[in-house]
Chain A
Amino acid sequence: MRMPAADERLLARRDALVAALRAIVPGEGVVAEEEALRVYETDGLTAYRQIPLAVVLPETVEQVSAVLRLCRAEGVKVVPRGAGTGLSGGALPLTDGIVLGLGKFNRILEVDLANRCAVVQPGVTNLAISEAVSPQGFYYAPDPSSQIACTIGGNVAENSGGVHCLKYGVTANNVLAVQVVLMDGEVVRLGGKHGDTAGYDLLGVLNGSEGLLGVVTEVTVRILARPPLAVALLLGFPTSEAGADCVARVIGAGIIPAGMEMMDKPAIDAAEAFCHPGYPTDAGAILIVELDGVAEEVDELASRVAAIAREAGATTVRQSRDEAERLVFWKGRKSAFPAVGRIAPDYICMDGTIPRARIAEVLAAIGRMARDYGLGVANVFHAGDGNLHPLILFDANVPGQTEKAEAFGADILRLCVAVGGVLTGEHGVGVEKRDLMGTMFDETDLAQQQRLKCAFDPDGLLNPGKVFPVLHRCAELGRMHVHKGALRFPDLPRF
C-alpha cells in the first residue's frame, strides 16, 4: 500500500516535536517510546502496520485544539483514532504523523431523558451508551458487531451500521449533534437536540468522513425506547438463491424487520463447529429474521414472514420461543468471525452493498471466483440491506496467499459496483478500498470530494493517504479551467 511520502525534515525534528506536544499534553499523554508506540501500529485491518511519529492522548478539548494548531503550524500529519477496531485501515498510522487517540474522552456527560438523547465523549463505547440508558428502558440503536469495544467517535467517523440499521438507521441517522475541532484548532458545534439542520448539513458530512475533516470531541445521540418484545426466526433454505428470494419477498410484502441476516453453507458449518447454535446443517443458507415491537405486531409479522419463507422454499422454519432461544439463534451469527477464524489461519472481511435482487447472482459469482483463486470464502451478511460481508479465507504464511486474497476481495468489490452497488456499506474506504474508488467515481467526482476536504483542512494534514487514491494540493484543486472564448455558449431554449 503506497502512502504519502514521509517528510524527512519532520522525522529529523521528532524530539523537538515530542517536547512541544508534551508541553500541551503532560505526563503519559504523549507516547514516544517504540515499544509503547507499537500498540498503535495497526487497527482492525491488521495486514497494514506502521509505527507513528508519536501518539498523543489528550484529555480536554483545549488540548485537542492546541495539538491541532501545533500540528498545522509545523506541518505534522494527524491520524485520529478511537478504539482502533475499524476494518478498513482508517486509523493506520503514518511514519511522519502523530496518532491522536481519543480514548481518554470516555465520559457520558448527560443522559437527557426529557429530550430523549445522551451527550457523550467520543471515546465512550457504543455499548456503554445503551448500558447507561438501559435502566430507563432506552437504548442506542446502531449496533456494529464490535460494539463492546468500538467507540462512538469511531462510529461517527465511519458512519457505522450494524444488524439493526435497516429499521433504525445507521450512525448518521441517530446522531443529533457533535462538537468538532478543525485542523486550525477552531471548535465548532453542529446540530442540536432538536434534530433540525441549520445552515449546511456539515454534521451529515462529518458522519462517515473517516477522520479526514475534523476531530470529534463530543457526540449527542438519539436514544430510543427498547421494544417490549423481540423474536427471531431461524429459516433454512436449500440454496442461497432461495434465501435471497425470501429476503426480496419479505421486503416486497411491506415488512421491514429489525434485522435480516444471511449465512451461507460454509458460514453455517463454521458457526456450528464453533458454538453449536443448532443451525440446520442440511441447509444451503439460513436467514435470521428479527422482529420487534409490541407483542401483537411481533406475532402478526412473525407469522407473515414464516408463511413467506415457506412459499420461498424454506426447509426449516423455527421461531424463538423465549429470549434465551433468540440469543442462541443470534449466537452463531455474532460469532461468525471467530468461528471462521478457527477454520482458516487468516481471513479478510469485505463489505460491499448491492441491490438485493442481485444477491443470489453475486453469491454465485463469488463462489466461482473462490474456485478460480483457490481460496475459501464464507458469507455472513446483512441481507436486509444488501450489505455483503464475504470472508475470504487464506494463510498469510503461504507465500502469495495474502496478495491473492486481496485481489479476490478487490474483484468482489468491483463486481458489487458493476451490478449497481457500492464499494463499502459500513466499514469505510480507509486504505483498504482507496485504490478502488475509481471504479465508482470519476476524477471530477473525486476532485470535488477533495475540495470539500480542502474547506476543512486546506493543508491536507488530517489523515492523508486514506479514502482518496490520488492526493491533490488544494491550490491546484481550487483552480477553474475555464476560458471564456473556449466555452461553448449554451445551446438552450430561452425566453
Chain B
Amino acid sequence: MARFEPADAAQAREAVAWAAAEGEPLAVVSGGTKRALGRPMQVPHELALGRLAGIVDYEPSELVLTARAATPLSDIRRVLAQRGQELAFEPCAVAPLGAAGEPTLGGVVGCNLSGPRRLRAGAARDHVLGVAAVTGRGEAVKAGGKVVKNVTGYDLPKLFTGSYGTLAVLTEITVKVMPAAEKLRTILVFGLPAGRAVALLGEAVGSPLDVTGAAYLPPAIAARSGVAHVAGARASVAALRVEGPPSSTLVRAAALRERVGAAGPVEELHGTNSRRLWDEVGSAALLAEPAGRLVWRLGLPPAAAAGVVEGLLAGIEGSALYDWAGARVWLALANREAAVQAARVRAAVAAAGGTALLVRAPEALRETLDVFDPEPPSLAGLTRRVKQAFDPKGVLNPGRMHAGL
C-alpha cells in the first residue's frame, strides 16, 4: 500500500517504472474529482499527481498554453482571462459525481470533458496539441508539439485524451487557447416538446448565425435552474447561444429571435445569466438531484435524440437534459432493475448509432455493469492491443474502462 506524490516528471517516471517492474498496479489521480467516473478499481497503490502543478509556458499571441497535469483548471482560466482568452472547448465539472475539490487540466484531458461549445469549437481532444507523459512501461515520452498545427508522427495527444489514465500518466500538457468572446447572448424558446425543440436547435446550428450552444431543458429540469427566466418559465426551455464581437453578437441574437420566434414565446439572457445557464447545462448540475438516480451520458445522432430518449423514459421515473443540439443527452433514471435498464439503454443507443457512458451509479453497479460501451470483438481486440502497446503489465488504472483491461 503506497501513495506516490512525485514532485516532477522524473519522479513520476520512477514510480511507474517501479510499478511495471514489480507488477504493482497504480491508481492515477490528479485533482481526484472524478474518482467515481469509470469502473471501480481494486488497486493497492496510488500515484497522486497533485504536486505536478503550475503553468509552464503561456504565450497569448501563439494561442498556446503549457501546464503541468495537476494544474487546477481555475488557475488556467484566471490566467487566460487576464489576456482575454479561454479554453474554447469549455471544460465543465461533472456535477452528478458530487465530488468536492478542484478539477485539473490533467483530469479534464484524461476524461476528454467538453462543454456546450463542443458543437462549434470541438472537444478537449481537438485542443490538446502536445503532451509529456510516462507510459505504463515506465518510459517518459513526448508527442505532438507546442504549435497549433502539426502532423509530425501519430497524434498520441488525441489517443491519451479520454483514455482515463490507462495508457500513460500525463505530466505536462500543451493546449490550444482561443480569444474569449467579447459579448454573449442566449435566446430562450419556451414550451416546446423535445422532438420539436431538438429540430429547432438543429436548424439554428445549421444556420449561418454561428450558434455556440444549443440545449433543451424539459420543464422539470428547467425549474431547477438558478436563472430566474429559466426556472420561472414553468415550461420547457430551448436555449441557443451566440457569442463574438459586440455588434455581430447583437445582430445574430436578433436574427435568431426572428428565426425561432414563431415556434413559441421567446426570452433573451445577457452575459451573467447566460454564463450561469451554460455552466448548469455543461456540468449537468440540473440532473445532479435526486442523488439516487443513475446518470447516463449519451452521444446520439441529433435527429434521433428525442425519439431515443422518449423511448427510454417511457415507464420509468427519470429526466433528460439535451446539449449539443441533441448530440449529447444527460439521462437520469431511477435505480430500479439496473441491469435490465442498462441493457435497454445500451440497445436503444446502439440501434441509433450512438454511445453511452454510465456516469453515476453505486460502486457495486459500476463493478458489474459496463460503464463504457462494450465493443464488438474486432474493436475490442484492437483496444486490448493498444493498451498492451502502452501498458503491457497493466499497471495504469487497470479495469477503469473495461473489465480485465
> Using a CB–CB distance below 8 Å, which chain A residues touch chain B?
112-116, 137-138, 158-159, 161, 165-166, 169-170, 172-173, 182, 186-190, 192-202, 204-205, 207-209, 225-228, 248-249, 251-252, 254-256, 293-294, 296-297, 300-301, 353-357, 382, 385-387, 420-429, 433, 437, 440-441, 444-446, 448-449, 451-456, 458, 467, 478, 480, 482-484, 487-495
Contacts and interface: CB of A to CB of B under 8 A. Distances in A.
B118 interface: yes
A195 B379 contact: no
A115 B303 contact: yes
Contacts of A482: 17, 20-21, 138
Interface string B1-44: 01111110001001101101110000000000000000000000
Contact of A301 (B126, B207, B245): B245
B382 A192 contact: no
A197 B153 contact: no
A455 B251 contact: no
B145 A421 contact: yes
Contacts of A201: 112, 125, 158-159, 161-163
A197 B125 contact: yes
A198 B373 contact: yes
Contact of A437 (B14, B84, B153, B206): B153
Contacts of A300: 245-248
Contact of B155 (A207, A251, A437): A207
Interface string B141-172: 11101111111111110110111000100000
Given A386-B62, A440-B153, 13 more contacts: A159-B151, A199-B379, A252-B61, A255-B179, A294-B248, A296-B247, A296-B251, A300-B245, A445-B143, A446-B153, A451-B389, A452-B156, A482-B17
Interface in B363-382: 372-373, 375-376, 378-379, 381-382
Contacts of B117: none
A398 B379 CA distance: 52
28 contacts: A115-B302, A116-B206, A172-B155, A186-B381, A188-B376, A194-B300, A194-B354, A198-B373, A199-B373, A199-B379, A201-B163, A204-B125, A204-B155, A209-B154, A225-B206, A226-B208, A294-B251, A300-B248, A301-B245, A353-B150, A422-B147, A429-B153, A440-B145, A454-B385, A454-B389, A455-B382, A480-B20, A490-B11
B342 interface: no
B209 interface: yes
Contacts of A444: 139-141
B386 A455 contact: yes
Contact of A386 (B148, B354, B392): B148
Given A251-B61, A255-B179, A480 B148 contact: no
B148 A197 contact: no
B122 interface: yes
Given A116-B202, A448-B135, A195 B150 contact: no
B278 interface: no
A205 B154 contact: yes
Contact of A490 (B4, B156, B244, B402): B4
A182 B382 contact: yes
A495 B47 CA distance: 11
A158 B252 CA distance: 36
A200 B153 contact: no
B376 to A, nearest CB: 8
Interface in B326-382: 327-328, 353-355, 357, 372-373, 375-376, 378-379, 381-382
A195 B382 contact: no
A296 B248 contact: yes
Q: Identify the 7 closest CB pairs spanning chains A and B, nearest first.
A: A204-B158, A196-B299, A297-B248, A254-B179, A194-B299, A455-B385, A114-B303
A428 B151 contact: yes
A205 B158 contact: yes
B59 interface: yes
B156 A193 contact: no
Contacts, number: 309
Nearest to B126: A173
Given A354-B147, A452-B154, A256 B248 contact: no
Contacts of A456: 382, 385
B151 A208 contact: yes
B105 interface: no
Contact of B299 (A198, A441, A480): A198
Interface in B202-221: 202, 205-210
A385 B149 contact: yes
B146 A478 contact: no
B63 interface: yes
B29 to A, nearest CB: 13
A170 B261 CA distance: 35
Given A114-B202, A254-B182, A225 B207 contact: yes
B123 A195 contact: yes
Contacts of A188: 376, 378-379, 382
B14 A490 contact: yes
A194 B20 contact: no
A455 B387 CA distance: 9
B4 A427 contact: no
B76 to A, nearest CB: 18
Contacts of B146: 355, 420
B237 interface: no
Contacts of A114: 199, 202, 302-303
B388 interface: yes
B224 interface: no
Contacts of A192: 299, 301, 353-355
Contacts of B179: 251, 254-256
B49 to A, nearest CB: 12
A494 B145 contact: no
A198 B112 CA distance: 10
Contacts of A455: 382, 385-386, 388-389
Given A300-B248, A490-B14, A193 B149 contact: no
Contact of A200 (B64, B135, B145, B162): B162
A485 B143 CA distance: 30
Contacts of A356: 61-62
A182 B156 CA distance: 19
A20 to B, nearest CB: 24
B392 A294 contact: no
A297 B21 CA distance: 59
A166 B126 CA distance: 12
Interface string B110-144: 00100000110011011000000001011111110
A293 B248 contact: yes
Given A254-B179, A437-B153, A441-B142, A115 B210 contact: no
Given A194-B355, A448-B141, A297 B299 contact: no
A300 B251 CA distance: 12
